[in-house]
């Protein structure tokens, strides 16, 4: 049975087409034109506090590894092996000296360099007498920058720097996120089976009672501030 819905007496620019929440083509365009071109938050520096610390996550739908190398530099890579495109790191977080893909045991260091390939001599053929050059098959790097200890990645090589992208908004991160006393203490994840716009739009909705909504929060303790992420 058709439902006759009376259009509100509002200008068209005040109305939202429902397809922006349900149309797969709209979502793909959002990924391409928004998330692939901006800086996406991935973690706090305290998540990967020491050399060898790493975590895996998704940004703009892409699987990524965030890690600190032996010198403490933060690196980011696609979590995809250069051999058969298998997932390289399967744990959500940990500490490692190298990353080894379980499919064919290709091994990468914390700077993404391919350092070990089992039976590498087998890659020498008549068409390729020199065989496989490991320097050509490192993990694909992703742009990564941090500001006030908040770590972001971008998939657009032409995007402005993180500082330029955030502009004056970056100053809002200084306290408490920039404090060296701040650390991630608890991580809770919740999968929302809805379009990505539903949660942030409802969170900003000032109408109605939302006292029961779960929010990320900062809690200060005598030993220093701790970041709780929800």
Task: Find the mean pLDDT for residues 158-182.
Answer: 94
CATH topology of domain 40-172: Rieske Iron-sulfur Protein (2.102.10)
Domain boundaries, given as residue ranges, for the chain: 40-172
Report the C-alpha gap between 120 and 211 in whole angstroms. Answer: 60
Question: In this structure, what token pair is assigned to residue 181?
Answer: 């006393």
- 3-state DSSP call for residue 16? coil
Question: In this structure, what token pair is assigned to residue 74?
Answer: 């933060």
Report the C-alpha gap between 21 and 141 in whole angstroms. Answer: 32
* Residue matched to tokens 């720097």: 161
pLDDT digits (tens, 9 = 90+) for 30-83: 999 999 999 999 999 999 999 999 999 999 999 999 999 999 999 999 999 999
Between 36 and 14, name the one with better pLDDT.
36
DSSP string, 101-161: -TTT--EEETTS-EEE-TTGGGG--SS-TT---GGG-PPPB-EEEEETTEEEEES-TTSPP
Give the per-residue pLDDT at 15. Answer: 87
């Amino acid at each position: 049975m058709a439902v006759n819905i009376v259009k509100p007496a509002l200008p068209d620019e005040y109305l939202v087409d429902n397809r922006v929440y349900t149309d797969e083509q709209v979502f793909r365009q959002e990924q391409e034109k928004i998330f692939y071109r901006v800086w996406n938050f991935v973690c706090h520096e305290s998540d990967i506090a020491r050399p060898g610390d790493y975590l895996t996550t998704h940004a703009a739908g892409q699987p990524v590894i965030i890690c600190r190398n032996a010198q403490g530099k933060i690196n980011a890579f696609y979590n995809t092996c250069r051999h058969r495109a298998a997932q390289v790191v399967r744990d959500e977080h940990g500490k490692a000296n190298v990353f080894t893909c379980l499919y064919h045991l290709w091994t990468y260091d914390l700077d993404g360099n391919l350092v070990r390939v089992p039976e590498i001599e087998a890659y020498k053929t008549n068409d390729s007498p020199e065989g496989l050059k490991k320097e050509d098959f490192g993990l694909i790097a992703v742009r990564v920058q941090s500001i006030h200890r908040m770590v972001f990645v971008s998939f657009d090589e032409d995007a402005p720097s993180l500082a330029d992208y955030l502009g004056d908004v970056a100053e809002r991160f200084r306290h408490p996120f920039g404090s060296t006393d701040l650390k991630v203490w608890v991580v809770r994840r919740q999968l929302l089976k809805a379009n990505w716009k539903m949660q942030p739009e409802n969170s900003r909705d000032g109408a109605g009672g939302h006292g029961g909504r779960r929010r990320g929060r900062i809690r200060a303790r005598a030993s220093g501030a701790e970041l709780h992420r929800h």
